[in-house]
Structure 1
Amino acid sequence: MSSATIQQRKAALRKQVAAAVDALTDAEIQRQSRIITDKVLKHPAYQKANSVSIYLSFDKEVQTGTLVEDILKNGKTCYIPRFQKGIPEMEMIILRSLQDYNSLPVNKWNIKQPSPDDQRESVFDNGTLDLVLAPGQAFTKDGVRLGRGKGYYDKFLAKCFKKLEKRPTILGLAFKEQIVPEIPQTETDVVLDEVLFEDK
């Protein structure tokens, strides 16, 4: 399959899954998010992790606020993404406390993140990361992930594999509407260790 064909199929799949997720009510988003949060909290990889990277959710993603609180409450080191216009890679930087979390500004996508001039330690300054909780547009049950098209997480994870002594465990968090039978892949797509979703 040519690269252009793969990109076309990915774009069509993004559109299809986005429509299904957009149709979810707030109540359904909260219901599925509670189930997935519980799965994370009970997961051995989370329980033994000393450091966790987690995305800060917007309204049409699996909600992560409770998980952020649990990470900080339990004294785990918490890293969150920062995206900047014109920069093709995201940073993964430290979140210091619940007070820090509550006081973060929101960006144009209504996602909390530290401002560009807020100097913070990154995962690569500290050199260790045990667990990545990753968002996505779509997933297969066996860990193939479709992002939003910018390659932020694939680039970040590839950098983790090169720079960190130990490979982190990577768990995708998904609504059941984001689970699809197949996702076309390129060689830069990182396959996750597991995808957590509401399965019957």
Structure 2
Amino acid sequence: MHCSMERPLRIIKKELRQKMREGLAKIEPALFVQRGKALAQRMREVPQWQTSSTVLVFLSMPREIDTTPLVEAALQEQKQVYVPRVEEDHLRFYRILTLEGPWELGLFGIREPFPQGEPWQPQGLVQGTLAPPVSEETSREKSDAPFPKKNREQPQVFGEDCAVPFQNKSRGRPQALIIVPGIAFDKEGRRLGRGKGYYDRFLHQYGAFLFSVGVGLMEQLVPSVPVDEQDVLLDLVLTV
């Protein structure tokens, strides 16, 4: 979807974000838990989940699909599981061995691991500084650092309740699978976040090492998410 020249992209995103928040607020909390169980079952059918020994996964906040069953499934399958912690303006993922914690409350009241654990670091990455802070609300057009672009085929629709874009064929086998939150997704792998840019920065830096899966309720799948040519596309979108 190309934004109108008369209206800034940040305004279009803000309006869609507000519309989605209002819609999610009307959904019964129990449904997020119920759909989380269905998501874990469906995720186990995804080939990249089956072959990945390492999973990076967010811990849900209110009005997000419950990822607890996903974490439990990964731990049961003896995968290495890493969950995010906000450190200044970026995310860092730390390994967990159980859902029992210990945790501390971070941004938005989300459970976060303490930083004493083992951080995820892709093999073969040249050490360097993190990508500069960038907010979805303000700055992609102002950033000099290009976001990675993926050569993609046309996406397929996998069932009535999930959209599956093809994996990017131009890179090697990813080192890990990352579960990405969002407030809206479309069938082209586009994602609308909450406006802080944490996952955009993370995927900008590490996306070449990861197979990215956006997850949510089927109500979060929209005809088209407003993006520009620099946005990072997800490898797969799974809604239930």
Give the TM-score normalised by structure 1: 0.85
Please give the secondary structure, in 2, of the residue aligned with 1:12. Answer: helix
8 Å contact from structure 2 (residues 122, 175) kept in 1: no
Aligned: 1:73 with 2:115: no
| Structure 1 or 2: more helix by fraction | 1
8 Å contact from structure 1 (residues 33, 62) kept in 2: yes
8 Å contact from structure 1 (residues 123, 129) kept in 2: no
8 Å contact from structure 1 (residues 29, 62) kept in 2: yes
**Pairs aligned (count):** 188
- Decide which of 111, 117, 129 is 1:120's aligned counterpart: 117
Matched with 1:154 is 200
8 Å contact from structure 1 (residues 53, 129) kept in 2: no
Distance 1:106 1:21 in 2: 23
| Structure 1 or 2: more strand by fraction | 2
- Per-residue CA deviation, residues 78-136 of structure 1 (Å, 9 max, x unaligned), is 1111014xx221112222x116x432222352311024xx3333222656732011100
8 Å contact from structure 1 (residues 78, 94) kept in 2: yes
Q: CA deviation at 1:25?
A: 0.3
Alpha carbons of structure 1 residues 187 and 74: separation in structure 2 relative to 1, 3 Å:
same
- Decide which of 74, 83, 86 is 1:83's aligned counterpart: 86
Q: CA deviation at 1:161?
A: 3.5
Letter in structure 1 aligned against 2:178: V
Give the TM-score normalised by structure 2: 0.71
Distance 1:122 1:110 in 2: 21
Matched with 2:177 is 131
Letter in structure 2 aligned against 1:182: S
- Decide which of 60, 64, 69 is 2:63's aligned counterpart: 60
Q: CA deviation at 1:62?
A: 0.9
Q: CA deviation at 1:13?
A: 0.3
* Structure 2: unaligned runs, 5 residues or longer: 125-173
Alpha carbons of structure 1 residues 176 and 161: separation in structure 2 relative to 1, 3 Å:
closer
Distance 2:5 2:200 in 1: 20
Letter in structure 2 aligned against 1:176: M
State the percentage of identical aligned residues: 30
